[in-house]
Amino acid sequence: MDFVEEFRRAELFLEAGDPVEAARILRPLIEAEPNNAAVRLQLALAYFASAQLARAEVELRALVERDPTDHYAHHVLGRTLERLNRHAEALPHLRLASAMSPLGDYRQAVDRVAARVNARGGAGRPPGRSAPGTN
């Protein structure tokens, strides 16, 4: 197996809108090189694009654990959690990504998820957080 060739082939499938095939190609690559962040990110994106959100979350958590300064991994993890309707968990990752790299898409995601968390009156707050004014 030519690692680089297979990685490029997976990228082409992802770009062509076939994330399931991209993930199928990437899984053996991540098994061969589990510390390869580029492969893990592409696999996470393939899972995200194919709505395999639990799998995407696993890959993205591994990335942010390995490199807490990876703003893009935090952003995609936040978006994954948002799609899983876990808004209170998503918000810290989205805020961190936006603070590290103030991109418009990042800010929009923060605003959208913060509005959802606030609309619930604080419901779904991360453990240990009390509602404002209740301390």
| Residues 39 and 80 reside in one and the same domain | no
Model confidence at 134: pLDDT above 80: no
Would you state the torsion angle of the CA atoms of residues 123, 134, 92, 109, taken in this order, to the nearest 10 degrees? Answer: 60
* pLDDT (tens digit per residue) in 32-56: 999 999 999 999 999 999 999 999 9
* pLDDT (tens digit per residue) in 89-124: 999 999 999 999 989 999 999 999 999 999 986 544
Question: Domain for residue 28, yes or no?
Answer: yes
End-to-end CA distance of the chain: 59
Task: Give the pLDDT confidence score for residue 46 in this predicted structure.
Answer: 98
Instruction: Quote the number of domains for the chain.
Output: 2
Residue ranges making up the domain that contains 28:
1-52
Question: Domain for residue 113, yes or no?
Answer: yes
Task: Give the pLDDT confidence score for residue 53 in this predicted structure.
Answer: 98
Task: Give the pLDDT confidence score for residue 120 in this predicted structure.
Answer: 84
Q: What is the DSSP string of 77-104?
A: HHHHHHHTT-HHHHHHHHHHHHHHS--H
